[in-house]
Amino acid sequence: MMETHVSRYGKILLAVLVAGILISIPWVTSNYFVMMSIRVMYFGMLTMSLSLLAGELGLVSLMQAAFFGIAGYFVAILQSRYGLPFPIPPLVGITVAIIAAGLFGLLVIRARGIYFLMLTLVLGQLVWALASQWASVTKGDTGIHGVYAPVIFGISTEKSKTAFYFFQLIVFAGIAYFLTALKRSPFGLMLRGVRDSETRMAMLGYPVALLCYSAFVFAALVAAVGGVFFAYFTGLINPHSVSLTANVETLLAAILGGINALSGAILGTGILKTLDVVLSGVTKRYMLFMGIMFLFVIMFAPHGIVGTIRKHWDALVGPAADWFGFRRERALAAFLSGQGSSSQSRKRKEGEEEKED
Amino acid sequence: MPLIVTFSFLNGLTLAALLFIMASGLTLSFGLMRVVNLTHGAFYMAGGFVGLSVLKFSGSWVIALLAGGFVMAALALVEERFLLRRARGNDLIETLISLSVAIIVGDLVLVIWGGYPKTIAIPGALMGVTRIPVIGLMYPLFRIFMLGLAIVLIVGLWLFLKKTNLGITIRAGVDNFEMVSALGINVRRVFTFVFGLSGFLAGLGGVMGGTFMMLVVGEDWRILALTLIVIIIGGMGSLGGAIIGALITGLIYSFAMAFIPQFSLFVLFLPVAIVLSVRPQGLFGKEA
């Protein structure tokens, strides 16, 4: 994230600023903006889950929405059909999503690059087919309606959007913090090691398969938490949530924002969901627009917004950051701390692939 | 044998024929270029709709079939020449570009032909049912014709790849790409040709599939998923694998449609899982 490039003092300032903005949203903005923020947060968790795999490990997955949807479906079914009380449906839903990821993970984890993409696409489509065809359980294409958000500490998060917002914000912040910590941990470094040179990591004695497998299962957990909030907030779940469209949208959000940064995942989701709302008022051609945008981002800006900002950080905001007490760091220092600029590592990887071919 | 089993078997064979036509193009272009062309399903659907319109205009099913094929071949050539070629060498980016083109084509089909399911009318000469000689069963004539057409295509492709110079070049390119280009063959042109051929086959498949099944938005992804399953089972880049994979996929899908319709697509998870855990490169695939 951005913190790489700023000092400790700047970091604290930034954290306080972001926390202040997030906490004040329900009071200073409209109800509509709060609802938008809630949407961005749960879809943001889905995007972060993809970002974790694609950015850290170099595995582009087209089935993260399946885990999002599995958790959402279980919450909807357990609550609306069996009337189970609050903590049970989400816990079961997330557990089932993790088990599913454990099963699918065994099949896909040996694959790399386009093979991984293709396998996850197929498995994601099979989950979609199940959601769409198994009508006696999933109610087919109409989906399950009437999912109510829980009552927590006597406050109904169904009635009060502000309460829902804070409930989700706490979980979201926890996950975002944990993912940031994970990226900096030895585990995160090992993942990037696998991304940059798998053979080297294997030769150094790291359990490459286990690393990939645990990252895959962990990413599914993040997506599943997003799915729980999605089902609670929208009150319904249908096959669209696990469709290929949903998966492609997630991928677009992650790449648009910047695949190597969690902040990019959230930024990309925010932009895409805003566009979704703006465009749906004007035209029905959202998919066309999305496809064209996807094409342009892939061809001309594969590092996304955050990646581009990082690349030009010094020139862009250096002087201003100096003024506000942020310290400019030299690219070398950033690189030594294990968070080298994304473009560099990407280039190295491309070079290596060419050699291997 | 109960009637439903016989019919499921025959339907499975017909579907396998269609899936082979789809998978052969995809597996060839993958073998040569290391690109999983995710536009393939969209070409299928768009080809079917082009065939539908051409049939309305010309009244001839054969012209519609060829039109669907050639329009999609042209579209594939444009995609290869102006988009994929720019990202050559980075197979992940190429595959993602093909995914975005699939979304664009899919939505354009919705704009042009609308969202209602449509079917291409079966040509007059092939309408009705006929008795299959040995088992003495009544079966739609058109499906038998489709099976025959697929066999003709299989033989044609096989002869093309085994006997013609271009076919031999393609096979050599699949096996050892660098050696072929070192021999002074313009591999770029071969790439473009195979991509066009693959688009042609997808368009052809679209018109055929649109005649014995339905054409509807969303069909592109269903067919793409089935085609990818064929390739995963059979092994990527292998034409023989595509035949076996298409038979396995078509038969399982068809029997599942008859007996457990709720899981007709999901049940394909089983062969995929078994193949991936026993032989990750597919039944006829080479070790990666």
Of B103, B229, B273, Cβ closest to residue A248: B103
CA atoms within a 13 Å half-sphere pointing along the CA-CB vector of B153? 26
Mean pLDDT of A311-335: 53
Given this model, what pLDDT does residue B68 score? 93
**How do the domains of chain A map onto residue ranges?**
2-356
pLDDT in the model for residue B268:
87
A143: pLDDT strictly greater than 80: yes
In degrees and rounded to multiples of 5, residue A304 shows phi and psi of 75, -175
Chain A interface, mutation test: which of B33, B85, B96, B253, most A Cβ atoms within 10 Å?
Answer: B96
Distance CA A54, CA A259 (A): 7
**Which of A298, A300, A303, A353 has the most B C-beta neighbours within 10 Å, making it the best mutation to test the interface with B?**
A298
Closest Cβ opposite residue A114 in set B83, B92, B232: B92
The fraction of chain B above a pLDDT of 70, given in percent, is 99
DSSP type of residue B115: S
End-to-end CA distance of chain A: 33
A246, A240 contact by CB (below 8 A): yes
pTM for this prediction:
0.86
Residue B45, classed as helix, strand or coil, is helix
Whats the size of chain B, residue-wise? 288
Structure tokens at B149: 């057409």
Whole-number pLDDT of residue A319: 60
- Please list, residue by residue across A318-339, b when 16 or more beta carbons sit within 10 angstroms of its beta carbon and e when fewer do: eeebeeeebeebeeeebeeeeb
Inter-chain contact B100–A295, Cβ cutoff 8 Å? Answer: yes
From A224's Cα to the closest Cα of chain B, the distance in A is 21
Q: Which domain holds residue B115?
A: 16-226
| Least confident piece of the model among A62-71, A305-314, A317-326, B30-39 | A317-326
- pLDDT at residue B288, rounded to an integer: 53
For the cut 80, the answer to whether the pLDDT of residue B37 exceeds it is: yes
Chain pair A-B, CB pairs under 8 angstroms = 117
Q: Chain B: nearest CA to A179, how far in angstroms?
A: 25
Contacts of A52 (CB under 8 A, 6+ apart): A179, A182, A215, A218, A219, A222
Cross-strand bridge partners of residue A155: A152
Predicted pLDDT at B3: 80
Subunit contact B36:A117, Cβ cutoff 8 A: yes
Cβ contacts of A110 on chain B, cutoff 8 Å: 280
pLDDT at B199 over 50: yes
The CA-atom distances, in angstroms, between A84 and each of A148, A154, B39 are: 12, 17, 44
Q: Which CATH architecture has domain A2-356?
A: Orthogonal Bundle (1.10)
Of B204, B217, B216, which Cα lies nearest the Cα of B68? Answer: B204
* Neighbouring C-beta atoms of residue A42, cutoff 10 Å: 25
Contact A294 B221 (CB under 8 A): no
Where do we find the tokens 């072929």? B180
pLDDT in tens, A211-222: 999 999 999 999
Three state DSSP letters for chain A: CHHHHCCHHHHHHHHHHHHHHHHHHHHHCCHHHHHHHHHHHHHHHHHHHHHHHHHHHCCCCCCHHHHHHHHHHHHHHHHHCCCCCCCHHHHHHHHHHHHHHHHHHHHHCCCCHHHHHHHHHHHHHHHHHHHHHCHHHHCHHHCECCCCCCEECCEECCCCHHHHHHHHHHHHHHHHHHHHHHHHCHHHHHHHHHHHCHHHHHHCCCCHHHHHHHHHHHHHHHHHHHHHHHHHHHCCECHHHHCHHHHHHHHHHHHHHCCCCHHHHHHHHHHHHHHHHHHHHHCCCHHHHHHHHHHHHHHHCCCHHHHHHHHCHHHHHHHHHHHCCCCCCCHHHHHHHHHCCHHHHHHHHHHHHHHHC
When scoring A288, A349, A357 by the number of chain B Cβ atoms within 10 A, the one with the most, hence best to mutate, is A288
Q: What is the pLDDT of residues B108-148, one digit of tens each?
A: 999 999 888 888 888 877 777 777 777 777 888 888 888 88
Burial of B171 (0-12, 13-18, 19+ CB in 10 A): middle
Are B261 and A107 a contacting pair at CB < 8 A? no
Question: What pLDDT does A321 receive?
Answer: 55
Nearest C-alpha in A relative to B85: A299
Q: Which of A139, A287, A296 to mutate to test the interface with B (most CBs of B within 10 A)?
A: A287
Among A223, A272, A261, A279, CA closest to A62: A223
Nearest C-alpha of chain A: how many angstroms from B110?
A: 10
Do the chains contact at B100 and A118, CB–CB below 8 Å?
Answer: no
Q: For residue B6, what are its two tokens?
A: 């016989």
Query: How far is Cα A162 from Cα A26, in angstroms, rounded to an integer?
Result: 6
Is B91 a member of any domain?
yes
**Bridge-partner residues for B137, per DSSP?**
B132
Average pLDDT over every residue of A338-349? 42
- Say if the Cβ atoms of A110 and B107 lie within 8 Å: no
Confidence of residue B77 (pLDDT cuts 50, 70, 90): very high
pLDDT band, very low/low/confident/very high, at A22 (cuts 50, 70, 90): confident
Does the pLDDT of residue B65 top 70, yes or no? yes
Average pLDDT, chain A: 82
Amino acid A316: pLDDT: 63
Residues of A at the B interface, defined by Cβ within 8 angstroms: 60, 106-108, 110-111, 113-115, 117-119, 121-123, 125-127, 129-130, 133-136, 244-245, 248, 251, 285, 287-288, 290-292, 294-295, 298-299, 302, 350, 353-354, 357
Which residues of chain A neighbour B288 with C-beta distances below 8 Å?
Answer: 115
**Whether A292 contacts A248, CB under 8 Å:** no
CA–CA min distance B285, chain A (Å): 13
Task: Say yes or no to pLDDT of A161 above 60.
Answer: yes
Q: In a mutagenesis test of the A interface, which of B103, B263, B281 is the best target, namely the one with the most A β-carbons within 10 Å?
A: B103
Could you read off the pLDDT of A233-280 as tens digits, one per residue?
Answer: 988 898 999 999 899 999 999 998 888 888 889 999 999 988 888 888
For residue A344, pLDDT over 70 is answered with no
Six token digits for residue A61: 């997955």
pLDDT at B76: 93
Residue B1, pLDDT score: 65
Does A292 contact B101 at a Cβ distance shorter than 8 Å?
no
Which of A119, A285, A295 is closest, CB to CB, to B97?
A295
Q: Tokens 């996304």 map to which residue?
A: A304
Centre a 10 Å sphere on the Cβ of residue A153 and count the other Cβ atoms it contains. 7
Interface contact A117-B92, CB threshold 8 A: yes
For helices A31-51 and A8-28, angle between their N-to-C axes, nearest 10 degrees:
140
Q: How far apart are CA A57 and CA B52, in angstroms?
A: 45
The contacts of residue B163 (CB under 8 Å, 6+ apart) are: none
* pLDDT of A339 higher than 50: no
User: Does residue B170 sit in helix, strand or coil?
Assistant: helix
Interface touch A107/B91, C-beta < 8 Å: no
What is the pLDDT averaged over residues A183-210?
Answer: 88
Is A107 close to B92, i.e. CB distance below 8 A? Answer: no
In a domain, B169, yes or no: yes
Average pLDDT over residues B169-190: 83
- Look at A122 and B225 and tell me if their CB atoms are within 8 Å: yes
Sign of CA dihedral A96, A253, B83, A344: negative
Of B44, B225, B20, which Cα lies nearest the Cα of A132? B225
Mean confidence (pLDDT) of chain B: 87
Which residue type occupies B200? F
Q: Which of A142-156, B14-28, B74-88, B230-244 has the lowest mean pLDDT?
A: A142-156
Indicate if the pLDDT at residue A176 is higher than 70: yes
Q: Is the pLDDT of residue B64 over 80?
A: yes
Amino acid at position A37, single letter:
S
In a 10 Å sphere around its CB, with 0-12 CB exposed, 13-18 middle and 19+ buried, how is residue B115 labelled?
exposed
Say whether B86 and A299 touch across the interface (CB within 8 A): yes
In the structure, what pLDDT confidence band is assigned to residue A345 with cuts at 50, 70 and 90? Answer: very low
pLDDT of residue A3 exceeding 50 = no
Contacts of A106 in chain B (CB under 8 A): 277
Average pLDDT of the residues in A120-128: 92
User: What's the pLDDT at A320?
Assistant: 59
Distances (CA, A) of A334 to A2, A179, A261, A325, B8: 11, 19, 15, 18, 63
> What is the model's pLDDT at position A91?
93
> In this complex, do B228 and A117 lie within 8 Å of one another by their Cβ atoms?
no
User: Nearest CB to A285: which of B97, B102, B107?
Assistant: B107
